[in-house]
Chains A and B, each alone.
Chain A
Amino acid sequence: MSTLLRLARTGVGRRRVQTLVIALASMMAVTASVLGGSLLVASNAPFDHAFARGHGAHLTVQYDAAKATADQLAATTRVTGVTAAAGPFRTATVDPAPGAGLDLPAGMKLSPMRLVGRAEAGGPVDQVSLLAGHWAAGPGQLVASADYSGAQLTVGQQLRVGATELTVVGVARSVSATADGWVTPDQAVTLGGVPGWQLLYRFAQAGAGADLAADRAAVTAAAPAGAAVGSRGWLDVKAGNTKSTGLFLPFLTAFGLLGLGMSVLIVGNVVAGAVGSGTRRIGILKAIGLTPAQVVGAYLVQALVPAAAGTLVGAVLGNVGAGAVLSGAEQVYGTSSLSVAPWVDAAVVAGTLLLVAGTAFAAALRAGRLRTVEALAVGRTPKAGRGRAATRIAVRLPLPRPVTLGLARPFARPARSLAMVSAVLLGTVAVTFAFGLGSSLQRIQQAKQSTADVTVIGALPPGAAGPPGSGPGNSSGNVAGNATRSGDTAAMLAAIQAQPGTSAVFGTAHTEVGAVGTTGSVAVTAFLGDASWGGFQLVAGRWFHGAGEAVAPTGFLTATGTRIGDTVTVTDHGQQLRVRISGEAFSTQNDGLALLTDAATLAAAEPDLEADLFYVALKHGTDPDAYTDALNTALAPTGARAETGGGGGASQLLIVLDSLTALLTLMLIAVAGLGVLNAVVLDTRDRVRDLGVAKALGMTPRQTVATVLASVALIGLAGGVAGVPVGVWLQHLVVPAMAHSAGLRLPPAILSVYGPVDLLPLLLGGPLLALLGALLPATWAARTRTAVALRTE
């Protein structure tokens, strides 16, 4: 074994704590980075590949067939910037009913379908992938979209649209999500429903939202005025496809960066500490003939060995974690099989090792440059004069002397103290951020429920998708048919109102409509009664006032390109209804493609719409459990049942996010604590002789512990005070970014989670972390035999 390796090996052996800390810090950084990097790649790659392969549409525009002809619309494809176009295709938005071979549970019905008349699957834009069967070749034939939200249609099943029978002859997928199904162009004209034209465009510049907005403005300006009734850009489609994995990215990035910061800090501190406390050893090594390069090399290897081990373990953990998350995301892409890209592993491992090597090199360079004669003479005593002013002040404080001795200590080693402050700061940032993230997720979960004391669920047919959880914030992404209640609504309402303890009640009915600018259906929650007390959160605007107004989630507003104050046209059972948007609601229902409105808004199309859920507020002092029991007795004849609370269950995704946050935070806290421990170990070793002197003069073990702990108290306080605002800032940065990935905007109440009662423990978390990190070396210092300490050089 070469001298260099032997020196490095003995260095690793002599500094077990530092070695462990470097390994853990590297592991933490790599785990988070591999997770984040893998999800980033995996969430983008399948869609990007499919989009490129299928010549996906950068923009899908829906035109009103009554206001534009095919020739007029063809002119829009010659606008500057358009590189390819397909259409115009005739469209029909219809309400299908199940036909032969398609059995739905009683009480269920199919969602509206936007059918597009296309002669072939291919073309210059949006080449539809046929997954089963063949393309529609004649009347009565339908190619169903695999992404149709109404039901999973298969070849051979039949649908009825008015008097027309449509047989499913194929199942296909459009990467641009341009339709719920395809028929022949002639069939699209004869089907009835709401007629329209669809045009698909590709542009030279469409990479950013601003590009797309300009493109949209250019093509719609070329069409007759008012003809364009809706559009959808490819970035929205992509966001919808990647949101399940994209949601993880912002916070994994935050944790990855915190981990990397911690790694750099700890590696730098450990190597600098090893150089600082090993000055005499370095002097001896140089005196016996080692070159500066060999000395630097020895310290470099000493840092890289544990870093490499930690990096490899971190890569394995990152792969395992990413695999678990991606397995759930595979469903988003259908047949695609997602796995961690090997180059992500390679890049993260190499990057981390390079970072560690660079940091270690910078610190080890000092060892190489140290003059031999100085190294031998200086030993490891701090430079005289450092921290004396602090000591002068500290000894005048009305505190026990062991404490004042410790309080002044950080000023004797400012660089090391700064590293300790940074470690505590990063730990505090992680805890503060994790607390904020967890609280925000908790509030998102709460926002999915109403503030009702009791929820009454109508009797539903077996197999029907239903409550609880059908409230405005329900995250169910698939409205698999519209459940109609089978209970007696009037009897239910009468029973609720007659029940002693009832303060207020409103009902909700659920249906689906089509909306211009969207493909698939829009889930509508129609309220019967005053729901303003229901606790439904708004991002902006106000709750609706009566018929003709609605609040809509961000997803709906984005998809339809509408803003608060705009009026949108929705199609309900063939009737076009105009609805004014009065507010932006926070809701994840149907991936944000939803509307919340008064039932009267839909009265023209659905006069018999009845509530399937009732939300009840109780009078003050009423016991919810006793009330629920009594109400259930009264509701028994209707088949409905009452439950305490506002409905809604825990989201699996939020549970995963919470668990991952907790895991990464614990890892960061552990590494931060180890960083402090490492620094205090170095510091205690440096001053073991001073402690020995104090012990010889009569300092008890408890006083020794107090001295060492006091030496990190100020450091912990500084790290805590600085870390909390950074953690709050990070939460305000990351949580909205996560929401953006999921196509949501958050109400202020979900973001502002830090109250004074929460901040105080977080501020104290810094000192606590520092004290915990210093406890072990403090105990070691207290136990060190005085005679041994006095002999220590």
Chain B
Amino acid sequence: MSKELIRLQNLCMAFDGEPVLNNINLYINDKEFLTLLGPSGCGKTTTLRIIGGFTTPTSGDVLFDGVRINDVPPNRRQINTVFQKYALFPHLNVFENVAFGLRLKRIPDPRDPSGKRTIRLSEEEIRTRVLEMLEVVSLKGFENRKPAALSGGQQQRVAIARALVNQPKVLLLDEPLGALDLKLRKDMQIELKRIQQQVGITFVYVTHDQEEALTMSDTIVVMDKGTIQQIGSPEDIYNEPKNAFVADFIGESNIIDGVMLRDKCVKLYGREFACLDSGFAENEPVDVVIRPEDIDIVPPEQGQLAGTVTSVTFKGMQYDIIVDFRGFKWLIQTTDHSPVGARIGVKIDPDGFHIMKKSAYSGQFGDYSSYSDEYDELSDADAVGADEQEDGYAE
């Protein structure tokens, strides 16, 4: 059922000698929802622009249905794009924006037996298809509005309709929800997934928002520094991160130095813990991931480890508690309140540990010593700002 549609082979890209993509190998299946996920500057947008035909790779090939399309210009690819900030035509109303691609389309003339002559689509056909597509994105009745008279969410849906009406084989989406507020973003995530299933085509989606990626994707490609870090289903990526970068980028993680004593037994802080992982060398140093929600709080004497609560943040659904274990701070998410200064024990089930081989990212992530909400928000805002620069036209 899943047929390969796009393949990127040994793709490398450099701007002014500065490497942006580093030997990218990736295949995308037909009807798949694939997300390129990573922080700003990781090369995800460049990868998307290469698939769209707006950027030519320095080396490597782009195959579409088995055919090399490196030199095919964007207007001749069966691929359409939903651009960041939509890029609607400001001088055209909603109807004409959506009809833009159809008005340019030429189909074989049915009256010409040789099939060489082409004709434009008839006005009725354009009208039917545009209205049908506006119905799909729930924008019926907005045909005569100019883009400037639409809200962000509506502009977003016009951009999607404008791309989808051409019945592309692949739809590329470049951070399409980045400019929307949280509530609308959540609604649009579900909406996008529904549209993708309804029209049954491949979506390649770029985002730096891990939650968005987990919600919508069939496959997630985690990228950093121009390199693919991990490819997998949302569950795989979350439960079995390959290295500290992935573990930290997808959700919250406590990442602790450990030693794999033998199969299913790991040593942390001088204590042995049972886990489910195996296949490591004896006494191999490893990174141990413990998700904040997999940690149970128990009285200190019953815990596998005991620490002191240093900060408590109410998050609505849960408390985010920072606990100091011998100078290393953990994040624990729990529904039970523990006051700052309290001494608590923690208990982790064997399936709460995930063991990773050491990597270049070891030691860089997973410590919550500098944790604060402002810090997180600041770095998020940075990510959005920097992304815009990354996506600026590379000259």
A binds B: no
Partner-B contacts on A (CB < 8 A): none
